[in-house]
Amino acid sequence: MSGKTLTERAVEVLTCADGREKTAISKAHAEAWVAARDSGKPMEVGTASPPLRPARPEKPELLAPRDVPRRRPGTPAGRIALLHAVAHIELNAVDLHWDIIARFGDAGMPLGFYDDWVKAAAEESKHFNLVCDRLEAMGSFYGALPAHAGMWRAAEDTAADLLGRLAVVPMVLEARGLDVTPGMIEIFRKAGETETIAALEVIYAEEVGHVAYGSKWFNWLCGRAGADPKDEFHRLVRHYFHGALKPPFNEEKRAEAGLPPDFYWPLAEETPVKAG
C-alpha cells in the first residue's frame, strides 16, 4: 500500500461504489498522505486516469432534479428527505475532491494544493458518515429515497480545466452551501433535533475551509498566469455554470473564505427569467 501514489489512491476512492466503503478508503488514504508529509518524505503525487464519472451504489435512484419529489420540511419525512439530499451532496463532494487530485496531478501545483484537497476529502467523508448516522437514527438510510442526477455535471464540464473546476466547484457550488446551511440548521432547531444540528454545525464550519482552498488556489493560478482573478472568475462561471447565482448570499462566510462581493454579485444580477 505504501508504494501507491496519491493520484492512484484517488482513483481507488473514485472507483469504489459503496458510500461507507468509499469514505473509509478516503479517510485511510488521507491519513497516509498526512503521515508521509509529517515524516518529511511526501508521497509521490504521480498521474492517473480517473473515470469520467465516479462509481455509485445501486441506490439511490438518480432522477432529474425536477423529478425528485419535494417534501415539506415541517414534517419528519420532510427532514429525512432534506438530510438524504445532504448525504448525496456529501458523497459527491468526497468524489469531487479526489477527482481534482486525480485529474490534475501534472498541473505543476505545489504540494500544499494536495494537502488542502486531501484534508477537504477527509472532511467530506466525515460529513457523509455523520449525515448517514443521523438518517439511520431517524429510521432511514442513504439510498432509501431518490436523489439528484446531474450533480457530477460540473466535474465533467471542467475535467480538462483546473481554473474552471476551482471557479465552479468550490467557489460557486460549495459557496452556495454556505448560503443555505443556516436555514437548514434552523429547520432542525425548530424540530429540536439537537444531534442533527450538531452534525450540520460541523459541516457548516468546515465548508468555509473548502471554499477558501478554492479561492486560494484560484488566485494563485491567476497570479502564475498574470491574469486578473475577478475577470477570470466571471468568464469561467459564465462559460461552465448553467444559470445565475442565487442571492441572498452569506456575505460574512463568503468573506471569511476569501470570496469578495465583486466576484459573485455581477453573476447574480444577470438573473434570467426563472425557469421551473
Chain contacts with Fe ion (rule: CB under 5 A):
90, 93, 124, 127, 174, 207, 210
Peptide bond into 50 cis (omega under 30): no
CB 129 to Fe ion: min, Å: 11
Between 83 and 93, CB nearer to Fe ion: 93
Between 8 and 218, CB nearer to Fe ion: 218
Phi and psi dihedrals of 148, rounded to 5?
-65, 130
CB 225 to Fe ion: min, Å: 25
SS3 string, 27-77, reads: HHHHHHHHHHHHCCCCCCCCCCCCCCCCCCCCCCCEECHHHCCCCCCCCHH
Between 7 and 92, CB nearer to Fe ion: 92
CB 60 to Fe ion: min, Å: 18
| Pair 146, 60: CB distance under 8 Å | yes
Q: Report the SS3 class of residue 147.
A: strand
Between 90 and 193, CB nearer to Fe ion: 90
Between 204 and 220, CB nearer to Fe ion: 204
Rounded to the nearest angstrom, the gap between the alpha carbon of residue 165 and the centroid of all alpha carbons in its chain is: 11
Between 8 and 181, CB nearer to Fe ion: 181
CB 128 to Fe ion: min, Å: 8
CB 206 to Fe ion: min, Å: 7
CB 131 to Fe ion: min, Å: 9
**In this chain, which residue has its C-beta nearest to Fe ion?**
210
CB 120 to Fe ion: min, Å: 6
CA–CA distance, 175 with 140 (Å, rounded to integer):
28
What 80-85 contacts at long range (C-beta under 8 Å, 24+ apart), as own/partner pairs, is 80/135, 80/138, 80/139, 80/140, 80/144, 80/145, 81/145, 82/184, 82/187, 83/131, 83/134, 83/135, 83/138, 83/140, 83/196, 84/60, 84/135, 84/140, 84/142, 84/144, 84/145, 84/147, 85/147, 85/148
Between 8 and 174, CB nearer to Fe ion: 174
